[in-house]
Structure 1
């Protein structure tokens, strides 16, 4: 007696159900990946939340947990301690880290332009980047003062240490001082200032004035690259597709996930950030137009290393090539998704 005769229709139904499940599920177990961002969930991380929300990470065999950053978060330290697999870092901290012997490596650059801006009052006499040197005050973080402000002083005449006042992430001091400027990210502070005053401030993107570090870097330990390069490649590729879908496809689910992760985030802030990311070419410009989002080249990486040496923020003997690995990007991944 065969199985069909013994079990009848129930056997057929069970077989079909098992078949359907096997088709729906991946043919392999998903690899667990822990990814830490640099700040609270926001549109600046949109491509990563997109890849999580729309199943792109799962398609690449990855079970990704995104651990948002924010005040008090130590995600870079968690990467160093092996409690994260990837971290969303910056090129400059990576170069300085190599000088300090920290074995971390950048494998992709999702911001072709650093989103750092200097903001001036809309009714001020500041017409171009150099005019910022005429102001009495520039509100900056200590990190900005020790990094891009050194570049500003070395590149343009007139900037001076006396202009520095600490930025405490509130626009109030800037708004009350008409002879001041303020640092910010193009995706955040201008929106908040416009929300409070009704007028957008003047925006000066450092990247468009010659300061050209990558940002939103995928950073990992050298050990992971050595032992599991396939995992690194799949995470970079899936994140790249996520960014294409976020910028050029339906990002509704990703934005919902961002807002549920960071309840303070609003639709207005997200919409503003995406518009600026697109119009200023923050993610998709330059090399990415032909080689794909996330592209990172040795030539571009060297540019910042040379700038840091020039302003004495990096030792000329530092082997900057240890800070990055270009094997995982610039392969045209996701270009067909651009609409």
Structure 2
């Protein structure tokens, strides 16, 4: 073997060594994380399923498992126990959690408007939110009775505890009583009532009457923020992109995943929910229009804190700033995806 051949062989071996080294170690590591939602899979979770379906989470180096909530699920407790990395929480439960010493923190707010509504019969003589106080009965969950109904009593004349009857996720009692109202989410109950009766009920969005809480929050343990803020940031950013693509792009693959997790979900319900999200600005309104979907601000937390103190649901010395961390949102992430739609 001559010198030229030896040189060529050595060069080839060097290239092979480099190639083997490159293939042996990936460009980046994939972080496995688990994310628990607040209910059975539905369009209200669409952006998260979109980020999973279209590879956005993978692009950010995340292998995400979505664990749906629903009857019997304890996803918030699993987050507290360290069995989940992220949870889909609510702003109010974080504020009350601070008072109880619970170390959970909101890092993004995907519903700029809370989707909670009060529904009345389409033929009822109810034209404004305040008119609902004239009705004899309002079907609510015990959670709603202890939360937004306190706000209703404090801000409108005529609402009284005697109107409360338990809502057990069936509209049958409401439909049988024309002098009643019922709680619901704008993306769910109105569709089902219209499907059953052929008429859409009158819809009163609490957010449009002054009820200001965010909803659909990404919630984490404080120790995850302290330990790995980059992981938190990547999950928030990928989820934001997922929501832009779900609302303004091709969401077919995400809806397939939603229906796989929740076989009772229908295409009609999903289409209705997305339409209402857009019509009422549930996701993309307020600060989200200029700072991006998911935007979370200290001002909104102070506003809710003051409202809860007013109705004696929080102590005035509660440090409400421990309930949120504004560093991960309001950066304009994903806004170009909407512009391209």
- TM-score, reference length from structure 2: 0.93
Cα displacement (A) at 1:28: 1.3
Assess if the C-alpha contact under 8 Å between 1:89 and 1:215 holds in 2.
yes
Cα displacement (A) at 1:277: 0.5
Look up the match of 1:83: 83
Q: How does 1:1-339 map to 2 (within 5 A)?
A: 27-338=27-338, 339=341
For 2:59 and 2:101, locate their aligned partners in 1 and report how far apart those are by CA, in whole Å: 36
- What SS is found at the alignment partner of 1:117? strand
Going from structure 1 to structure 2, the CA distance change for 1:158 and 1:3 (only over 3 Å counts) comes to farther
Cα displacement (A) at 1:325: 0.3
Q: State the Cα RMSD in Å.
A: 1.9
Going from structure 1 to structure 2, the CA distance change for 1:4 and 1:33 (only over 3 Å counts) comes to farther
Write the deviation string for residues 295-322 of structure 1: whole angstroms up to 9, x where unpaired: 0000011110100000110110100000
Write the deviation string for residues 203-223 of structure 1: whole angstroms up to 9, x where unpaired: 000000000100000000000
For 1:318 and 1:235, locate their aligned partners in 2 and report how far apart those are by CA, in whole Å: 29
Cα displacement (A) at 1:2: 7.0
Assess if the C-alpha contact under 8 Å between 1:26 and 1:61 holds in 2.
no
In structure 1, list runs of 5 or more residues that go unmatched. none
Assess if the C-alpha contact under 8 Å between 1:240 and 1:334 holds in 2.
yes
Cα displacement (A) at 1:29: 1.9
Write the deviation string for residues 113-142 of structure 1: whole angstroms up to 9, x where unpaired: 000000000000000100000000000000
Write the deviation string for residues 137-184 of structure 1: whole angstroms up to 9, x where unpaired: 000000000000000000000000000000010000000000000000
For 2:59 and 2:230, locate their aligned partners in 1 and report how far apart those are by CA, in whole Å: 14
For 1:326 and 1:203, locate their aligned partners in 2 and report how far apart those are by CA, in whole Å: 32
- What SS is found at the alignment partner of 1:35? strand
Going from structure 1 to structure 2, the CA distance change for 1:266 and 1:315 (only over 3 Å counts) comes to same
Assess if the C-alpha contact under 8 Å between 1:138 and 1:183 holds in 2.
yes
Cα displacement (A) at 1:274: 0.2
- What SS is found at the alignment partner of 2:200? coil
- What SS is found at the alignment partner of 2:65? strand
Going from structure 1 to structure 2, the CA distance change for 1:4 and 1:174 (only over 3 Å counts) comes to farther
For 1:81 and 1:183, locate their aligned partners in 2 and report how far apart those are by CA, in whole Å: 31
For 1:118 and 1:47, locate their aligned partners in 2 and report how far apart those are by CA, in whole Å: 25
Write the deviation string for residues 274-303 of structure 1: whole angstroms up to 9, x where unpaired: 000011000000001110000000001111
Going from structure 1 to structure 2, the CA distance change for 1:172 and 1:30 (only over 3 Å counts) comes to same
- What SS is found at the alignment partner of 2:127? coil
For 2:264 and 2:117, locate their aligned partners in 1 and report how far apart those are by CA, in whole Å: 23
